[in-house]
Structure 1
Amino acid sequence: MSPWSLISPASRGIGFALARRVLQTTNAPVVATARKDPDKTKADLLEGLDIDEKRLEVLKLDVLDERSIEDAAASCKKLFHASDDHLQLAFIVPGILFPEKSPAQIKADDALLTFRTNTLGPMLMLKHFSPFLPRKSASVTQAANYMEGLPSVATTAVMSARVGSIGDNRLGGWYSYRASKAGVNQIVKTFDNHLRTASGENAMAVALHPGTVKTGLSQDFWSSVKEEKLFDRDWVAERLFNVIKQVGVEGRGKCWDWDGKEVPP
């Protein structure tokens, strides 16, 4: 089977770092997505990398627009149309945050946008890209050259957050963001249950918690985070990629942090 990878979105932040990490440490084709200007995103992703540029395809995709997700999936079907092509690694990482500190700060439009981006967006990605995952009946014999650096089990990883854990919630606040990420954890578990039937041990799903990363999403909170707990995006990308390869099928359906520790539901 011929594997490929998907990182969506990959124009900035953790997604950008993950895409470059996959390009640098694997040999398989990579599909990245950007909400706008895919040509610029491709140039940025390739800058300074000594790789075959033909390995990277950047597609336009907006998780708020299902038609764009459907179109991107159709493009991938044209790119990877052989019977043994399959999606070996997917990072689905859209995110937006409105930090409501009290109920009085909740705004319906902001909350709706949070759920559409953080929760419904990944759900629609699973809808349109899950057909690319290997089925239970698929042969596990794979081209060693293309599998180098990739997880041995086809893995779909969706970005969650520790604040999405109900059991770990001791501070409150961030109502819409917390709820949207709790929803992500439920979606991942439900999708993994589907994969247990459809793919057996050929495919699995997990959620990821990256910690507080120096990206635009968290910029307003950098001053309140201890320096040793504020992570560089490239470092986090390396850690998350390693976690993906280490947890194995025993860790499927769960949320894992950057240090390989399980985040409770």
Structure 2
Amino acid sequence: MQAWALVSPASRGIGLELARRLLRTTSIPVVATARKDVDHTRAQILGDLRNVEEDRLHMLELDVLEEQTIQNAAQEAGKLFPKKDSYLHLGLCVPGLLYPEKAPSQIDYDDALLTFRTNTLGPMMLMKHFSNFLPRKSTSVLASPDLPKQAIWANMSARVGSITDNRLGGWYSYRSSKAAVNQTTKTFDNYLRTSAGDKAMSIALHPGTVKTGLSQEFWNNVKGEKLFSPEFAAEKLLDVINSRTIDDRGRCWDWKGEEIPP
């Protein structure tokens, strides 16, 4: 069986670096998505990578706000990797959008709706159209020291999505959308328990504060040692993914491998 990985989106920030790191540290094909300018994204991902087979990278156009593009991308992935002889070993779902409302009066309806469409419905629609590529109970899962023992679908969450950990308030739409991501992750994992047994599981991830456009407004408020580069975040997140066991399923893990409570 041929294993492959999905990174969506991969046009910048953590997603781009996840795709680059998978190409460097594994031997499996990587499907990376971008909303537009897929050739430009391909060039960015390959960049200065050395000793990497460029044909391992497959670029697909996909906009998490447009379900038809997700369906089209899944159909293209199915042509590249027919389910009869391949399966999705890593699904890395990383869309993100943040409007930092500090008080209820700052909540804008359209901005909040876009936040949920991106952060919550985006991963949900990716699950809808790509979940069939994950292993079934009968699938022979690839054994490799560079990959987790079981297939993993990982949704990008955030510490502020934890209701238990919410002591400061604010960021209403972002917090709520990420709490919903955690619930979606758990619900999807319950589905995988039935469809895949211990061959596949779903987890959520918190990358810390990463130096990307999403967090740029807050860089000056973060201690230097707590503000991570996208390269560092990608390395740590893949380390966390690769070190998970089946008992870790359905939960949210930070970049250090520590559980974040719901």
- Shorter-chain TM range is over 0.9
Using the TM superposition, give the Cα deviation of residue 82 of structure 1 relative to its aligned residue in structure 2, in angstroms.
5.3
Percent identity between the aligned chains?
A: 63
What per-residue deviation string (whole Å, max 9, x for no partner) do you get for residues 116-175 of structure 1?
0000010000000000001012234x3x5xx45121100000000000000000000000
Q: Runs in 1 of length 4+ with deviation above 6 angstroms?
A: none
Quote how far apart the aligned CAs of 1:248 are. 1.3
Does 2:151 match 1:150?
no
Partner Cα distance (2:221, 2:145) in 1: 40
Aligned residue number for residue 248 of structure 1: 245
Pick one of 162, 165, 169 that aligns with 2:162. Answer: 165
Secondary structure at 2:7 match in 1: strand
Aligned to 1:6, the other structure's residue is in SS state strand
Q: Distance in 2 between matches of 1:23 and 1:182?
A: 31
Distance across 2 between alignment mates of 1:66 and 1:220: 30
What are the equivalent positions in structure 2 for 1:164-203 lying under 5 Å apart?
A: 164-203=161-200
Please say if residues 83 and 133 of structure 2, whose CA atoms lie closer than 8 Å, have aligned partners that are also in contact.
Answer: no
Contact 2:97 2:118 in 1 (8 A): yes
TM-score norm. by structure 2 comes to 0.98
Q: Secondary structure at the match of 1:247?
A: coil
CA contact (8 A) 2:71 2:129 kept: yes
Aligned-residue Cα RMSD (Å) equals 0.9
Q: Which residue is 1:14 aligned to?
A: 14
SS at match of 2:243: helix
Is there any run of 5+ residues in structure 1 with no aligned partner, and where? none
Contact residue 206 and residue 254 of structure 1 kept, 8 A: yes
1:211 equivalent in alignment to 2:208 = yes
Please give the secondary structure, in 1, of the residue aligned with 2:198. Answer: coil
Query: Counterparts of 2:254 and 2:180 in 1: how far apart (Å)?
Result: 17
Specify the SS of the correspondent of 1:217. Answer: helix
CA distance in 2, matches of 1:106, 1:177: 11
Gaps of 5+ in 2: none
Task: Give the letter for the 1:154 counterpart.
Answer: A
Q: Deviations over 1:211-245 (max 9, x none)?
A: 00000000000001111111111011000000001
Decide whether aligned partners of structure 1 residues 176 and 14 sit closer, same or farther in structure 2, where only a CA change above 3 A counts. Answer: same
Query: 1:1-265, aligned counterparts within 5 Å?
Result: 1-50=1-50, 51-81=52-82, 83-140=84-141, 142=142, 147-265=144-262
Secondary structure at the aligned position of 1:172 is classed as coil
TM-score normalised by the chain length of structure 1: 0.97
Does the residue aligned with 2:19 lie in a helix, a strand or coil? Answer: helix
Aligned residues: 261
SS in 1 for 2:197: coil
User: Which residue type is aligned with residue 210 of structure 1?
Assistant: P
